[in-house]
Amino acid sequence: MKYIHYSGKYPIIVIPGLFGSWGEGIIRDNNTLGFGPSRDIYSPLLEFLIENGYELNKNLFISFYNWRLDNDISAKKYLIPMINKAKAITNMNKVILICHSMGGLVARTYIQGDKYKNDVDTLIMLGTPNSGASISYLFWEGGEVYYEKLHNNFLFKTFWNSYLWYLKKIYKENGMKPLQGSFPSIKQLLPTKLFYGDYIYKKDRYGRKRYIDIGNMKEQNYFLEKLNREVYKLKYRVANIHQIIGYGFLTNDSIEVKRNNSDKWIDGKPVKINETINGDGTVIVDSSQLPHIDKHYLKKDHSDLVKYSTKILKDILNLKYDKKILKYDKKYISLLFKNINDMSIKIDNVKIKINEIYKYDYVSSTVLDKNTLWIIIKIKDIRDIELEIEPKKHRKAEFVAISDEELLGGYNLIEEKLYKKTKLKLI
C-alpha cells in the first residue's frame, strides 16, 4: 500500500454533533451517512482546514455516525474504524479530533475506554455537553417537543423540534418505551451530579425551591457519570485537550416539576423551564467545561461555535491561513409533510415542484420514510412563501412549519391536517 505523508501533520478527524449526520439508520433509508441539512453548520470549518492545506479523505476525514445509538456503539462502529483508516492512509500513528457537541462524547467514550490505542494527539471539543443538558429531560421523560420561542440557536432547535415531531408521529400510539428505545443516546445527555448538579426541583407550600438529588431520580445518566468520575483517564491519555465553549445565549437550565401519575414524567412533569444567559443556547457553560483542561470562550451559539472557532483552531493547530468569517444572515424554515401525493412551493413567485427541489441550492429535502418528507428552506430575504399540498387518496395529510416568530407572522409553529388539495400562505 502506498502511504502519503503531509509534512509531519497528524490527520484531522471531524466528529459532528447531534443532527450532524444523516442517512443510515437515522431515517428509514439506507443512504450513505453525510451532513444532509446540517451542511451549513460544518462547511465553514471544512473550508478553513482545506484552505490550510488539508484534503478530504487524504488527511482530513469526517466521522459520521448514527447519533440515535448509544455513544459506546458509535465509538466502536464509526469512530474507531475512521481513526484506523486515517492512520493507514497517512502512515501516522496519531490523529487530531475536532468534535462538536455529542461528537465530543463519542470521542471521550473511545479515549476513556478499554479499546483506546494511544492514537489521539489532540482532542478539541466545541460545545460538548460533558455533564449533560437539561433539554434532554423533556424528551426522555415525556417525549415532548416544546415549540416555545426559538430564540438564538435557531437552526439546531429546528432540527431538534422537526425530528422529534417525526418520531412522535411514529410512536404516538405506543407510549414512552418505544420512543426511548429509538433514541437511547438522549438518556446519555441527561445532566449529571458531577460538574452539573441537581437541576429538577419542586416548590414547597411556602414557594421555596426543593431540589431533587440526581442520585434519587429514577432516570439517571450512568454513562456520563462514569465518564466524569474517570475524567483523569482523558487527561492522562491525551496530551493536548482544548474546550471551546459558547456563552451569552439563553439556555435551558433548571426545571420546576410537579408530581405526575401517568406513565410519562416519572421524575416530575415540567411546570416551568428556567433559563440562563450562561450558555450557548443548548449547553450551559458549567456542563461544557471540564476541570484542569484548556478552555476558550466564544460569545456564539451552539451551531456558530463551529464556524467561529477557526481563530482559536488556528493557534491550537499552528495553522497559518485565517480567512475572515463572513456573517451569513440566512433565515430557515423547516417544513414536514406526511401522506402527501404531490406538493409545490412558491418562493417569491418562483414555483418549485417536489421533483425539482434538487435544482435550487436554497432548498433541501430529506425523505424520512415513504410517507414523510422534510424540507428546509434557507434564503437571505424571504418575502413570500406559498404551498400547494395534495394528500394521498383516502389519506389525511399532515403538515408542520417551524421557524422563528418573525418569519411565520407571529408564530413559530404552524400545523395543519389536510383532507383535500389545499393552498397555504406561510408568509
For position 6, what pLDDT does the model report? Answer: 39
For position 393, what pLDDT does the model report? Answer: 87
pLDDT, tens digit, for every residue of 73-99? Answer: 999 999 999 999 999 999 999 999 999
Mean pLDDT value across the chain: 87
Q: Are residues 170 and 79 in the same domain?
A: yes
Q: Is the pLDDT of residue 318 over 80?
A: yes
Q: Which domain holds residue 260?
A: 1-328
Q: Is the pLDDT of residue 152 over 70?
A: no
pLDDT, tens digit, for every residue of 4-42? Answer: 333 458 999 999 999 888 877 676 555 678 888 788 889
| CA pair distance 195, 189, nearest whole angstrom | 13
Beta strand pairing call for 269-276 and 251-258: antiparallel
Strand partners, 337: 373, 399
| CA pair distance 90, 121, nearest whole angstrom | 14
Question: Stretch 155-176: mean pLDDT, rounded?
Answer: 73
Last residue of a domain, one of 298, 328, 358: 328
For position 326, what pLDDT does the model report? Answer: 57
Last residue of a domain, one of 328, 346, 377: 328
Question: Stretch 111-125: mean pLDDT, rounded?
Answer: 97
For position 154, what pLDDT does the model report? Answer: 64
Q: Are residues 293 and 150 in the same domain?
A: yes
Task: Characterize 65-95 residue by residue with b for buried, 16 or more Cβ atoms within 10 angstroms of its Cβ, and e for exposed.
Answer: bbbbbebbbbbbebbbebbebbbebbebebb
Last residue of a domain, one of 328, 354, 385: 328
Q: Are residues 116 and 92 in the same domain?
A: yes
| CA pair distance 141, 149, nearest whole angstrom | 22
Residue with cell 451552539: 302
R_g of the chain computed on alpha carbons: 22
More confident residue, 8 or 355: 355
Here the cell at position 213 is 438529588
Question: Stretch 394-404: mean pLDDT, rounded?
Answer: 87
pLDDT, tens digit, for every residue of 223-266? Answer: 999 999 999 999 999 999 999 999 999 899 999 999 876 778 99
Q: Rounded to the nearest 5°, which phi and psi values hold at 91?
A: 60, 35
For position 4, what pLDDT does the model report? Answer: 36
Q: Are residues 411 and 297 in the same domain?
A: no
> pLDDT band for position 325 (50/70/90)?
low
For position 308, what pLDDT does the model report? Answer: 92
Question: How far from 388 is each of 119, 218, 325, 333, 363, CA to CA, in Å?
Answer: 54, 47, 38, 16, 16
Can you give the CATH number for the domain in which 119 is found? 3.40.50.1820
Q: Are residues 352 and 263 in the same domain?
A: no
For position 3, what pLDDT does the model report? Answer: 31
Q: Are residues 323 and 380 in the same domain?
A: no
> pLDDT band for position 145 (50/70/90)?
low
Q: Are residues 32 and 82 in the same domain?
A: yes
For position 286, what pLDDT does the model report? Answer: 94
Q: Are residues 317 and 351 in the same domain?
A: no
| CA pair distance 338, 373, nearest whole angstrom | 7
The fraction of the chain above a pLDDT of 70, given in percent, is 90
Question: Stretch 295-311: mean pLDDT, rounded?
Answer: 93
